[in-house]
Amino acid sequence: MAAAVQKITEFYDWMIEVADPRVEDWLLMRTPFPALGFIAAYFVFLWIGPKLMANRKPFDFKPVLVVYNFFLVALSVYMFYEFRVTSWLANYSYKCQPVDYSNDPLARRMASVCWWYFFSQIIELLNTFFFVLRKKNNQVSFLHVYHHSTMIVNWWLGVKYIAGGQAFFLAMFNCFVHIVMYTYYCLSAIGPHMQKYLWWKKYMTQLQLLQFFAVVFHTGYNMTTDCPFPQGFNYAVFLYAISMIILFGNFYAKSYRKKEGKHKV
C-alpha cells in the first residue's frame, strides 16, 4: 500500500513538474483538484437535484435562459475569433502545429483563449442545473453528462500541457458549433412562438457530428506523420472524438431517423 501511494505521489509530482509554467498561476490551473471538485459537485447535484425536485413544481427560468444562452453565444464568438485570428497571425499549420511554449505575445494569446475555452466548459455545467430545476430530466442523458463532465478534464489537461498547437483546431471548430447551438437555445428560450423559426435543429446535430469527423480526420492525419506534438494527446483526442461520433450518431438515429421512417409509412 505504501509503495502504491509513493508511486502515485511521484507521478503527481512529475505531472506538475512537466506542466506549462506559463499557466501555473492562472485561475484553477495550479492543481487538478479545483476542476475535479467541480466535477464531483456536478455528480452530487445530479444525484440530489432530481430528489429535491420530485415534489416541487418546475422553476421558470425563461428570462435567465435567454440571457445565459445569449452570453454563451457572445463568449463563443469571442473564442472563435481569438482562435482564428491568433492562429492566422502566428501562421499556424492545419497539418502539423507544435505547441509554442514561449512568452511570445501570440503564444500567450493562444494559451489565454485555450484557458477561456476550458473555463467555458465549467460555465456550461449550468445547462444541467437548469434542466434539473425545470424538471427536464429526459434531457440529462448519458451523452449530456458524459460530454459535460469529461470536457472539463480534457481541457484542464489541454491548458496545463498543450495550450496551443494543433489542439486549436478542434476548439475553434467547437466554438463555431456553439455559436449555432446557443443561438438556437436562446431563440427557443424566448417562447413557443419562436418554434416556427427553429426548423434547423436536425442540421445543427449534423453540424455537431461533422465536427467530430473533422477532428478524427485532423488528429488521425497527425498520428501518422512525424509531427512534434505530444502523441499521447493525439491518441486521446482521436478516441474521444470516436466516442462522441458513436453517442451523437445514436442520438441522431433515435431523434430523426425513426421520425423520418414514421412519416414514410
The answer as to whether 22 is a domain residue is no
Q: What is the pLDDT of residues 67-119, one digit of tens each?
A: 999 999 999 999 999 999 999 999 999 899 999 999 999 999 999 999 999 99
Tell me the average pLDDT across 244-262: 84
The mean of the pLDDT values for the chain is 94
Catalytic pick among 147, 148, 178, 218: 147
The answer as to whether 13 is a domain residue is no
Are residues 258 and 153 in contact, defined by beta-carbon separation less than 8 angstroms?
no
Torsion angle of C-alpha atoms 32, 38, 44, 50, degrees rounded to 10: -150
The answer as to whether 19 is a domain residue is no
The answer as to whether 191 is a domain residue is yes
- Compute CA distances 228 → 23, 103, 158, 223, whole Å: 21, 19, 16, 10
pLDDT band at residue 197 under the 50/70/90 scheme: very high
The answer as to whether 54 is a domain residue is no
Q: What range defines the domain where residue 102 resides?
A: 61-264
Total domains in the fold of the chain: 1
* Catalytic (active site) residue 193: no
Q: Is the pLDDT of residue 243 over 60?
A: yes
